Structure 1
Amino acid sequence: MTLIQNDFCADVVAPFAGVASEPEIYIADEAPQDFFAREALLDAAFGPARFEKTAERLREGRLPAEGLAVVMKHEALLMGTLRLWHVDAGGADALMLGPLAIAKPYRSRGFGRRMMAEALFRAFAAGHRAVLLVGDAPYYEAFGFSRRVTRGLTLPGPVDEARFLGLELATGALQGAQGLVRATGRLEPARLREAA
């Protein structure tokens, strides 16, 4: 993967530096055949409570942003997943990141950071201006995420405010953003049928 210098790139490159690379491990676009392995990985990482989380309200019944659902594989084995979703962040177009999960045998080896760097680069290259997430601040602050840019925003359910973070890929992208974060991504085909 090649990173291009930009407004946020220094924050992305710093945690990525020094991460070991293994030739049989690679990041690719998520494919339909990854569905069952991805769901099993998410179940193992987060358990059934993952469906009760507030961030899930912004994902259910929606498709991830095009080109921004990625998997990490070790040969043919799915070992990591990360998706980004279209949202309206109080009047500003943004993406919601999550969930990010790495299979247990591969954790604490920098693979999550590799996936984050790839996803943020793809989002920037596609012209997206801001990314939101709910997650562990010390981990995500290394990529430039902060609570500062989400202070005027609320999520559709309870959340620990210290974990509600944002990153401006373009300076000022969330300036003046106020109010509820709403899902705006494409509906899943089944939801389209229900709507009809």
Structure 2
Amino acid sequence: MSISVLGVILAGGQASRMKYVAKGLTRYKDRPLIEYALKSFETLADHTLINANKDIKAYQNFGVKVFTDQADYLDKGPLSGVLASLLQAQALSVSHVLISPCDTPLVTQAVFERLKLAAEQEPESVFYIESDSGIQPLHAILPVAGVADKLKQYLKSEARVMFFYRQLGAKAVYWQDESAFLNINYLEQLD
């Protein structure tokens, strides 16, 4: 089945472990982290947007629309960005949201192609990446239909990504290459 995809790079976190520096704007190997994620979505998504809650103008310089989390959900961690992404997807009338955090520069387009293929085969399911070291819940694809309302309800009492995914019957897509998920959480990791 053919699906339509909104690619969203999640850059709305507080980055407390990075001394509150906008994570997506920090440089890794001479490029801002956000550029790696944008490149991964380049030909895969029908639309690509950035979810950020500060440094909006700086993110707009990358040539894509930037949107913020809804005020009522700002304290809900990454699920706040997921909800805002689903609402953007509804407005664009696409069937799926493909998400990626801004802080994993080594994730290639092939990871997202695998997620998209899984969604094409089972368009009503949520898929996330799992590797030998564990789950990568923010590398995921979610159907838009009905999920935003379920997430709003869930966020009234909880804000844990995998707990929500389990409620939806989410499925793991295995990815063997561990190095793809290098996660930049500290300024010392930048070179």
TM (norm. structure 1) is 0.28
If each structure's strand is expressed as a fraction of its own residues, which one has the higher value? 1
Q: Indicate the structure (1 or 2) with the bigger Cα radius of gyration.
A: 1
